[in-house]
Amino acid sequence: MVPACSYGPRGPESEYVPQKAAIITGASSGIGRATALAFARGGYAVVLAARRAAMLDDLASRCRDRGAEAVAVPTDVACEQQVRDLVAACVERFDRVDVMVNNAGYGLHALVHQTTTDQMRRIFETNFFGVFFGCRAVAPVMIRQRQGHIFNVSSVIGKRGAPFNGAYCATKFAVCGLTDSMRVEMLDHNVRVTTVCPGLTDTAFFDSGEGHSAHRKGSFARLRGLAPPDLVARRIVATVGKNTPELVFSAGGKILTLIAAVSPRLADWMMKRYHDDLAGPRQASRRRRRGRMHKQDT
């Protein structure tokens, strides 16, 4: 539970309590939107960033309905200057940044050898450089405050690669590495840095990504079920101020991470089987039959 914070009554006898402020990127939809609402409910002022201004405005008014101050700052996280301006806007308005959630990102569904160089560069611009720019811009503010918490959103498949997601996984692995490094660097400054690894979550992610991932949302839902974005949001808010290296969601995600560390070969087998199943039961059993025949032939 986040302590409610607000401007205290300013007067000679009362102590001024600064309002806590959280910046959330990718706030126009899904996990980012749910996280913004959760911080607003927790008494934070929220600074909302994404490219779609109208959706940010709508969210800002919902946050205000919950009694929070809210500012919409249309931002493309792939542009470093825009991310600097985002952090500056928060400092200018609230004099501080207590939490930064670097969440903006999208998926790319493609085989590695069919991923174009341009696609690879573009997904890194948003999913990795967007996070890096956020960290770079906010760290000096938090160091000065001697307080703050940065959350970088990766993925369960930023811990173990998955077929058809090579480019996406590469960006999310990069986020994990960056975040692990920064966490230790920030220890002496009392700034916390946490990696967030959601599992399959029910958002527009599957529709908004590149490649033919849209039809797969149904397959994922059929096989595993999708977690509500609010689950991730509430865990992020509850983790503020704690020295938590990472939040890995879903039992499946935790098991996969563990197995991948102990036996990469077993993890490969699980991934292959899982993705065959995603293609549908008939295709999966056909592929398995083909695999058995191939073994008999050799």
Compute, in degrees rounded to 10, the torsion defined by CA atoms 11, 96, 144, 27: 160
Per CB under 6 A, does 129 bind ligand NAP?
Answer: no
Cβ atoms of 9 and 207 closer than 8 Å: no
User: Three-state secondary structure along 82-137?
Assistant: HHHHHHHHHHHHHCCCCEEEECCCCCEEECHHHCCHHHHHHHHHHHHHHHHHHHHH
How many residues can be counted in the chain? 298
Compute, in degrees rounded to 10, the torsion defined by CA atoms 223, 229, 233, 239: 0
Among 57, 106, 147, 224, binds ligand NAP (CB under 6 A): 106
Please identify which residue in the block is written with the tokens 């906010």: 138
- The least distance separating ligand NAP from the CB of residue 97, rounded to whole angstroms, comes to 17
What is the rounded CA–CA span in Å between residue 182 and residue 185?
A: 5
Q: How many residues bind ligand NAP (CB under 6 A)?
A: 31
- From residue 148 to residue 167, the character string flagging contacts with ligand NAP as x (rule: CB under 6 A) and all else as - is -----x-x------------
Of 54, 65, 69, give the one whose Cα is nearest residue 23: 69
Q: Is 7 a catalytic residue?
A: no
Per CB under 6 A, does 134 bind ligand NAP?
Answer: no
Q: Which stretch binds ligand NAP (CB under 6 A): 38-46, 73-81, 116-124, 288-296?
A: 73-81
Per CB under 6 A, does 28 bind ligand NAP?
Answer: yes
- From residue 246 to residue 285, the character string flagging contacts with ligand NAP as x (rule: CB under 6 A) and all else as - is ----------------------------------------
- The least distance separating ligand NAP from the CB of residue 172, rounded to whole angstroms, comes to 7
- Nearest-CB residue to ligand NAP? 30
Per CB under 6 A, does 213 bind ligand NAP?
Answer: no
- The least distance separating ligand NAP from the CB of residue 222, rounded to whole angstroms, comes to 15
- The least distance separating ligand NAP from the CB of residue 85, rounded to whole angstroms, comes to 13
Judged by beta carbon, residue 98 or residue 202, the one nearer ligand NAP is 202
Q: Which stretch binds ligand NAP (CB under 6 A): 45-53, 64-72, 84-92, 186-194?
A: 45-53
Residue 140 one-letter amino acid: P
Map residue 273 onto helix, strand or coil: helix
Residues whose CB is less than 8 angstroms from the CB of residue 182 and which lie 6 or more positions away in sequence, other chains included: 135, 139, 150, 193
Contacts of ligand NAP in 228-247 (CB under 6 A): 229
What is the rounded CA–CA span in Å between residue 176 and residue 23?
A: 20
Q: Which residues bind ligand NAP (CB under 6 A)?
A: 25-32, 50-52, 55, 75-78, 103-106, 126, 153, 155, 198, 200-201, 203-205, 208, 229
